[in-house]
Structure 1
Amino acid sequence: MTVLSISGVHKLFNGNPVLRGVSLDVDEHEVVALIGASGSGKSTLLRCVNLLEQVDDGTIHLDGRDITDPRADPDQVRRRIGIVFQAFNLFPHLSVLDNVTLAPLRVHRMPKAQARAKALALLERVGLADKAAAYPDRLSGGQQQRVAIVRALVNDPRLLLLDEVTSALDPELVGEVLALIRDLKGDGVTMILATHEMSFARQVADRVCFLDGGLIVEQGPPEQVFGAPREPRTRQFLQRITDAGRL
């Protein structure tokens, strides 16, 4: 079953094209990794999917429904799509538990006891149940990012978007976040992740899409894209990554 269908999406900023006709289908339980240099359009594509940016042309369908239709309610769409950014975006004045339960209580009108129980179960799963009463500034970067992922998961999203979620972390903290994403894949969570972690993309993704200049230049299974890329631009990008010791 196709969860997400992106068709011919264009996005301009100040007249400059950032996405130039991107098309991509994502099936249920599939993990799709977006790779490419900074400025290639990865983050903008995720923001368009979550309706944080309005597309200038093209359509995006979620479970067959056109969410780019002007009549679509962005808030309703975002209830079904979780997104996690490289900045943790936790509310500093709220405890971990209050950060996680905020949307279930205020947006989904979930009973407080149910929201707390669900949040605590997820925090337990990621090894942070003992931090439920702590405030974000008392957590490491890796712990804060895991809380941000739990906050997205607590709403049972149909699709989870991860935008460079390890970029703001010290190298020693990256592993704990990647381990969580690997676990989510094992649970069958449908995900699109924009990442600079090439080795991780190779291990966890079902499909890799290489973006360049606002286009998907090449896509395929990780072993094909990383091991035998067909397009010269893909080969050039991966060679630079290899020379930098990141693949």
Structure 2
Amino acid sequence: MSLLTIDGVWKNFHGHDVLRGIDLEVQPHEVVSLIGASGSGKSTLLRCVNLLETVDDGTIFLDGDEITDPRVNVDDVRKRLGIVFQAFNLFPHMTVLDNITLAPRRVHKAAREQAEEQAHELLAKFGLADKARAYPDQLSGGQQQRVAIIRALATQPRLMLLDEVTSALDPELVVEVLGIIRELKESGMTMILATHEMGFCREISDTVCFLDGGVLLEKGPAEKVFTDPENARTREFLRSVLETRRF
């Protein structure tokens, strides 16, 4: 059974259709990348999956449960999802440790000792063992984004949603964040990521989805989409992006 099924999802903002009939299935342990120009609907789709936006039509199923049912308990759904945005969104008045343990303690009712033990393990795994007592403004951008990813992982999500997590970083910091995502894939984490990092997308993705104007125009294995895309608009987008990257 698919871990996530998106069936005919539409989303409208102020009379403009941002998503137009999106169909997508995500299998356990699969990495799905969303590519496309800014405004194509990538971030909106992730926000709909996490119920930060209400879909106007269509349904979304997580582990076979319809999460777009108006009667669903949103908090229960979000317990199974981790989301990381391009902005780090760390609480500036809280230490790294407190940022990471807040959701496990408050939402999942984990004991402080248990939550902190897990947090220290994650920090050590991702090279931040010495930053537990630091505050966000004492960290580099790359370190802050790593903490944001760790915070999402601390709830042990079924699915990770990553929304342009490198776009706010200086180029030299991008590599360390992409390294974490690569480790998550190797550990079997199911992920959907919106990204402009084409080389990394091609390397890490099982499936690549090209969105244009709110429509999922092309979907397929990463190598197929990048080397032999079927849709002319996909070819045009990739040619434009890859040529831009050369300069």
TM range (shorter): over 0.9
Deviations 1:114-136 (A, max 9, x none): 00000110010000010000000
Correspondence for 1:160: 160
Deviations 1:109-167 (A, max 9, x none): 10110000001100100000100000000000000000000000000000000000000
Aligned counterparts of 2:50 and 2:153: Cα–Cα separation in 1: 15
Correspondence for 2:113: 113
Correspondence for 1:56: 56
Aligned counterparts of 2:198 and 2:174: Cα–Cα separation in 1: 13
| Secondary structure in structure 1 of the residue aligned to 2:48 | helix
Indicate conservation of the 8 Å contact 1:2/1:63, yes or no: yes
Q: Which runs of 4+ in 1 moved over 6 A?
A: none
- TM-score, normalization: structure 1? 0.99
Correspondence for 2:130: 130
Question: Using a 3 Å threshold, how does the CA distance of structure 1 residues 226 and 116 change in structure 2: closer, same or farther?
Answer: same
Amino acid at match of 1:130: D
| Secondary structure in structure 2 of the residue aligned to 1:68 | coil
Aligned pair 1:96/2:101, yes or no? no
Aligned counterparts of 1:151 and 1:197: Cα–Cα separation in 2: 23
Aligned counterparts of 1:176 and 1:43: Cα–Cα separation in 2: 22
Question: Using a 3 Å threshold, how does the CA distance of structure 1 residues 194 and 246 change in structure 2: closer, same or farther?
Answer: farther
1:246 Cα deviation from its structure 2 partner: 5.8
Aligned counterparts of 1:12 and 1:18: Cα–Cα separation in 2: 6
Amino acid at match of 1:25: E
Correspondence for 1:80: 80
Correspondence for 1:6: 6
Amino acid at match of 2:136: P
Amino acid at match of 2:240: R
Correspondence for 1:214: 214
1:26 Cα deviation from its structure 2 partner: 0.1
Correspondence for 1:41: 41
| Secondary structure in structure 2 of the residue aligned to 1:244 | helix
Unaligned runs of 5+ in 1: none
Indicate conservation of the 8 Å contact 1:197/1:246, yes or no: no
Aligned counterparts of 2:5 and 2:62: Cα–Cα separation in 1: 7
Correspondence for 1:196: 196
Deviations 1:158-206 (A, max 9, x none): 0000000000000000000000000000000000000000000000000
Unaligned runs of 5+ in 2: none
Correspondence for 1:15: 15
Amino acid at match of 1:106: R
Aligned counterparts of 2:139 and 2:172: Cα–Cα separation in 1: 15
Aligned counterparts of 1:151 and 1:245: Cα–Cα separation in 2: 31
- TM-score, normalization: structure 2? 0.99
Question: Using a 3 Å threshold, how does the CA distance of structure 1 residues 246 and 68 change in structure 2: closer, same or farther?
Answer: farther
Indicate conservation of the 8 Å contact 1:6/1:24, yes or no: yes
| Secondary structure in structure 1 of the residue aligned to 2:245 | coil
Output the aligned Cα RMSD. 0.9
